[in-house]
């Protein structure tokens, strides 16, 4: 494979993409038996992928610029840190990706809503998502360095992603769908918390004051358990109150995996041993969204 192409694929961090798609799949298929537009779904998937890649590129740039990506970091080396890409190349890629996000997002909103007052609201929401993707680590006011990353991940990966995609399909809000947003938001925040537990020592040295750095490893594990259990509880509440056939309970099949992962996570002592659980929790979340979608399709 071309060396430069490999460098960009490394920077895109493809393993993060399934988690990003979980909110869109869950929200869109919650609407499946009311109103479902395949083109809107496809554009939502594209926009979300571009936003996640933008976030990954910006994180690579921001953490490298601040010196957080260094030899003390346990996780996989970032592209700039590894010398695969320059700051200039990454800045150009971020700019291009912002443009692509805007084009895909505008196409999505127009296809779903046309020109209405609510269209402006979704456009502003899209701009906020782009800003959040960049400002996590980039600039002096990077919110990831002050312990606010969990809040933004919960909101944009969960509540906004699920309820936004549901609205784009149905053009209405459903209070029960907020429980699905809570579910995906909790699981996504759990992935971030695992990442921050893994990098706690190096983050503290680099003055990256994540929530884990602030509360310590012991309470971060309690927080992790609360996220998983609260997410599962919200999911069960939604399924229990909306199911009209046994097939709607399909996503419950993955619940034991979440509980097993949580038990294993509480026993981790060496920070580097948190790393495999990031992928496992992300894939469990993706599996939940797929099983949820299948349950709605075959109702």
CATH number, span 6-297: 1.10.600
Q: How many CB atoms lie within 10 A of CB 180?
A: 32
Render each residue's pLDDT in the chain as its tens digit; 299 residues.
Answer: 568 888 888 888 888 899 999 999 999 999 999 999 999 999 999 999 999 999 999 998 888 888 776 766 676 777 888 888 889 999 999 999 999 999 999 999 999 999 999 999 999 999 999 999 999 989 888 898 888 999 999 999 999 999 999 999 999 999 999 999 999 999 999 999 999 999 999 888 888 999 999 999 999 999 999 999 999 999 999 999 999 999 999 999 999 999 999 999 999 999 999 999 999 999 999 999 999 999 999 98
- Structural domain spans, the chain: 6-297
Distance in angstroms (rounded) separating the CA atoms of residues 299 and 296? 5
**Quick one: pLDDT at residue 227?**
98
Please check whether residue 231 is in contact with residue 272, taking contact to mean a CB–CB distance below 8 angstroms: no
| Nearest residue to 75 via CA among 13, 27, 29 | 13
Q: Where do runs of H (alpha helix) occur along 199-210?
A: 200-205
Burial of 51 (0-12, 13-18, 19+ CB in 10 A): buried
Whole-angstrom CA distances from 49 to 4, 54, 248 are 21, 9, 27
**Quick one: pLDDT at residue 72?**
66
Concatenate the DSSP letters of all residues of 257-276 into one string.
HHHHHHHHHHT--SGGGGHH
The pair of three-digit structure tokens given for residue 217, joined into one six-digit string: 């490893």
pTM: 0.95
**Quick one: pLDDT at residue 71?**
66
Distance in angstroms (rounded) separating the CA atoms of residues 36 and 170? 7
Sign of the torsion angle spanned by Cα atoms 173, 175, 180, 185: positive
**Quick one: pLDDT at residue 2?**
60
Q: How many CB atoms lie within 10 A of CB 219?
A: 12
The pair of three-digit structure tokens given for residue 165, joined into one six-digit string: 């995609």
**Quick one: pLDDT at residue 83?**
85
């Amino acid at each position: 494979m071309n060396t430069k192409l490999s460098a960009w694929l490394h920077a895109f961090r493809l393993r993060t993409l399934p988690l990003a798609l979980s909110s869109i799949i869950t929200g869109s298929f919650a609407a499946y038996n009311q109103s479902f537009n395949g083109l809107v779904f496809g554009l939502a998937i594209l926009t979300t992928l571009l936003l996640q890649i933008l976030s990954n590129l910006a994180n690579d740039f921001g953490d490298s610029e601040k010196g957080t990506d260094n030899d003390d970091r346990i996780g996989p080396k970032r592209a700039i840190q590894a010398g695969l890409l320059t700051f200039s190349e990454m800045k150009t890629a971020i700019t291009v990706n912002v443009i692509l996000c805007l084009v895909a997002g505008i196409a999505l909103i127009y296809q779903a809503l046309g020109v209405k007052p609510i269209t402006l609201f979704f456009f502003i929401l899209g701009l906020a998502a782009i800003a959040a993707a960049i400002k996590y680590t980039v600039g002096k006011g990077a919110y990831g360095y002050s312990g606010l990353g969990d809040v933004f991940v919960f909101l944009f990966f969960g509540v906004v992603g699920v309820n936004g995609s549901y609205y784009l399909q149905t053009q209405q809000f459903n209070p029960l769908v907020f429980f699905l947003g809570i579910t995906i938001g909790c699981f996504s925040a759990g992935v971030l918390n695992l990442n921050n537990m893994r990098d706690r020592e190096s983050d503290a040295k680099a003055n990256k004051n994540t929530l884990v750095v602030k509360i310590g490893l012991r309470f971060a594990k309690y927080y992790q358990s609360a996220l998983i259990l609260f997410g599962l509880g919200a999911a069960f509440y939604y399924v229990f109150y909306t199911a009209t056939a046994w097939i709607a309970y399909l996503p419950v099949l993955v619940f034991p995996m979440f509980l097993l992962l949580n038990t294993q996570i509480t026993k981790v002592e060496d920070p580097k041993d948190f790393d495999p659980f990031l992928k496992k929790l992300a894939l469990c979340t993706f599996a939940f969204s797929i099983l949820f979608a299948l349950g709605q399709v075959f109702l």
